[in-house]
Structure 1
Amino acid sequence: MPLVIRSVLPSDQAAWQRLWRGYCDFYQAALRDEVTQRTWARILDPDSAIMCLVAESDGQPVGFAHCVVHENTWETQPVCYLEDLYVDPAARGQGVGRALLDWLRNSMRAEGWARLYWMTHKDNAGARALYDQFAQADDFVRYVVRLPAA
């Protein structure tokens, strides 16, 4: 059955949560349940800037992409930040990640986004092998400032 890329639906919640858990486990991120619940709520909120695409195979979501389209100071058009991309390990190597990126690249052209950008961990060799087929990594270094734990 062909792969379908589509917007997430409320009925995808259980599948999304399974994939989200796999994504968080991959990055060894222990998120509180309230963060996951809030993320799901924002995904479904039409007024939220967060959008979620799912890749569906045989009627089941096997991957997702979370994106934020936003204004920026370096272009006149909005840009799209691909915040999270995850493919179920059982579906890897079947073109799921490529299909999600192709969908976003096509949307970039259709919607007039100035650019599509993302980052990944330097040691994520599997993802980087795919990403390098779309663009070359740049020389920017990420800095993160966090609020102290209360």
Structure 2
Amino acid sequence: MSCTIRAALPSDEATWRQLWRGYCDFYGTQLPEEVTNRTWKRILDPDSQVMCVVAEVDGQVYGFAHCVVHENTWETQAVCYLEDLYVTPAARGHGVGTALLEWLRNAMRAEGWARLYWMTKADNAEARRLYDRFTQADDFVRYVVRLK
């Protein structure tokens, strides 16, 4: 598949919502509609740190990457956190995920981000096969404290 990677557009909303549901289903989570609505608004807001790029093949969107570019205390440049990456099951193994990660790696170089980083579940073997082609997992363990 020859992918075009581009910023999400307002006209992508219905497709994005369908992909977003697939992503949430994969992780076994149900988010309140207000969270999904707020996420979409932030994606379209040029002043938001949340960005979304989509992978398009022949006019059809098959995947997305949500990222947050932010300052940090370990480098002088900003870093990019790849928060979510999703490709429709039918398009997996055809280079869509690779194209999204390559685009982000190129954006890292062009924008001068110190690093691009992400995480996935330890048992997500399909994603880890893709990610291992870009870099090896480090030895950090994630802790989460929730407000509720």
TM-score, scaled to structure 1 = 0.97
Q: In the TM superposition, what are the counterparts of 1:16-35 in structure 2 within 5 Å?
A: 16-35=16-35
Q: Could you tell me which residue of structure 2 aligns to residue 44 of structure 1?
A: 44
Q: Could you tell me which residue of structure 2 aligns to residue 134 of structure 1?
A: 134
Q: Any gaps of 5 or more consecutive residues in structure 2?
A: none
Query: 1:58 deviation in Å?
Result: 1.4
Question: What's the secondary structure of 1:13's corresponding residue?
Answer: helix
Q: Distance in 2 between matches of 1:121 and 1:65?
A: 16
Residues matched between the structures, number: 148
Q: Could you tell me which residue of structure 2 aligns to residue 5 of structure 1?
A: 5
Question: What's the secondary structure of 1:24's corresponding residue?
Answer: helix
Query: 1:2 deviation in Å?
Result: 2.6
Query: Structure 1: which 4+ aligned runs deviate by more than 3 Å?
Result: none
Query: 1:3 deviation in Å?
Result: 1.1
Query: 1:9 deviation in Å?
Result: 0.3
Q: Could you tell me which residue of structure 2 aligns to residue 85 of structure 1?
A: 85
Q: Percent of aligned positions with the same letter in both sequences?
A: 76
Q: Distance in 2 between matches of 1:72 and 1:57?
A: 35
Q: Any gaps of 5 or more consecutive residues in structure 1?
A: none
Task: Output one character per residue of 1:17-50: Cα deviation in whole Å (capped at 9) or x when no partner.
Answer: 0000000000001101111000000100111000
What RMSD in Å do the two structures reach over aligned CA positions?
A: 0.7
